Amino acid sequence: MEFFSALTLFSAGVLVYHYVLYPLLMAVGAKRPSPSVPPSPAQDTAAVPSASLIIAAYNEAAVIAEKLENSLALHYPAHQLQLIVVADGSDDETPDLVNRYTKDGVLLLHQPERRGKSAAINRAVDAASGEIVIFSDANAFYEADALLKLVRHFEDGRVGGVSGQKTVRASDTAVSQSSGLYWQYESAIKRWESASGGTVAVVGEMLALRRRLFTPIPPAVINDDAYLATQILRQGYRVLYEPEAVCWETASSSTADELVRRRRISAGRYQLLFRPDWWPWRNPLALFQLISHKFLRLLLPFFMLMALAANVMAVLRRPANLLMRLTLLGQTGLYGLAAFGWLAERVQRRARIPAAVYYVVSGNFSSLHGLWRLLSGRQSVLWEKAQREES
């Protein structure tokens, strides 16, 4: 086979593996008997472990009251649940609003200096008293039974962490629908991974772990949730995904705002890629998942560019090659759909499929921006807040 044809097929094969074959492998693995004893469908609330719900809230005056009302209404014994809001660096009304809930037992941690989310989490865990700590964001709202669904897995002594299901409440906007579809796809993969023995994919909006296993987060860490998950795995414990523990948030107001969030996540993944001392080397399944699910995604834009360039060269060198012509037609159509999705968002038109393609393509290439920001030292550990739709 001619070199450029082979390079085209290899690059396309990597994309197919990541988006199709790897999820299928996890789905097949999920059908095997689980190595963990399934948790009981119902749990005696009198026997639940003590828990500390830690809410990161930097300048979250718009949502913090609603978040606290949501947290106080959770179905969890009040004497077993500690609520901590860490609002370091907030210079809006967030601290004042939280102070109104101190009579309900809410603990506010606030200092003027903003040192990043990782430092805030470390400080909050130091103040936590619960056997289980649950990390949440101010804009993530929990279903009433979410905590009970999470903590039941800790009856298994081999489980060190549990992540819940993040859902995006989709409105009629293209970015909202696209991000909602993306999270459905991601949730399916995590469900299969967890059923296969554990997952490396967690969400910072709902992550529970045993407090005694918490590893203080280094100041330079960008993605605190990914770091915490890998450190649990490195200690020989499992991380599970509980799809019945649900939280929801609204989507970013535009793809541009969503890319701000995904650019940071990509920078954090590159940081993890470049730090093999953080990898779960003693857990072959977790290492395989980390490479296939997280690290390979960082390389997709390179393979996308390689597939297109090699495909063009293959057609130019051998115009009669029907397979390469069809492949180039398919790639051209794919990027054409992405361009149409971009245009539809600009003119505020609904185009479900083009919008979804644009969301995936733009998200992949945003990882290159994340890599550049990491290597250039421009990626701060301070969060850049994406604008959210009104709930």
**345-377: pLDDT as tens digits:** 788 777 778 888 888 898 888 888 888 888 887
Helix segments in 196-349, DSSP class H: 224-234, 255-273, 284-289, 296-317, 322-346
CA atoms of 114 and 383, how far apart (whole Å): 10
How far does Cα 199 stand from its chain's mean position? 12
197: tokens are 């023995």
Coil, strand or helix at 237: coil
Higher pLDDT among residues 365 and 181, named by residue = 365
Q: Which residues contact 368 (CB under 8 A, 6 or more apart)?
A: 301
Domain 37-256: which CATH class? alpha beta
CA atoms of 325 and 282, how far apart (whole Å): 45
Q: Has residue 108 got a pLDDT over 70?
A: yes
Question: What pLDDT is recorded for position 46?
Answer: 64
Q: Has residue 157 got a pLDDT over 90?
A: yes
CA atoms of 207 and 28, how far apart (whole Å): 26
**What are the tens digits of pLDDT across the range 12-28?**
999 999 999 999 999 99
**What are the tens digits of pLDDT across the range 66-92?**
999 999 999 999 999 999 999 999 999
| CA-atom Rg of the chain in angstroms | 22
User: CA nearest 203: which of 142, 286, 125?
Assistant: 142
Pairing mode, strands 81-86 and 159-169: unpaired
CA atoms of 334 and 336, how far apart (whole Å): 5
Most confident segment among 46-55, 306-315, 354-363:
306-315
CB 296 within 8 A of CB 18: yes
Domain ranges of the chain: 37-256
Q: Has residue 1 got a pLDDT over 80?
A: no
- Mean of the per-residue pLDDT values of the chain: 89
Locus of tokens 């469900």: 191
Q: Has residue 260 got a pLDDT over 80?
A: no
- φ, ψ for residue 346 (rounded to 5)? -65, -35
With vertex at residue 132, the alpha carbon angle to CA 239 and CA 71, rounded to the nearest 5 degrees, is 105
CB 365 within 8 A of CB 229: no
Over residues 306-316, mean pLDDT: 97
215: tokens are 């590893």
- φ, ψ for residue 380 (rounded to 5)? -80, 155
How many CB atoms are located within 10 Å of the residue 103 CB? Answer: 7
Q: Which residues contact 336 (CB under 8 A, 6 or more apart)?
A: none
Locus of tokens 């850049």: 384
Locus of tokens 């106080």: 72
Most confident segment among 24-33, 115-124, 154-163:
154-163
Coil, strand or helix at 289: helix
Higher pLDDT among residues 226 and 178, named by residue = 226
- φ, ψ for residue 101 (rounded to 5)? -105, 5
DSSP characters over 44-101: -GGGPPPEEEEEE-SS-TTTHHHHHHHHHTSSS-GGGEEEEEE-TT--SSHHHHHHTT
The answer to which of 158-167, 314-323, 345-354 has the lowest mean pLDDT is 345-354
Over residues 120-141, mean pLDDT: 97
Question: What pLDDT is recorded for position 37?
Answer: 45
Over residues 212-235, mean pLDDT: 95
- φ, ψ for residue 372 (rounded to 5)? -60, -45
Q: Has residue 287 got a pLDDT over 90?
A: yes
Pairing mode, strands 238-250 and 141-142: antiparallel
Strand partners, 252: 388
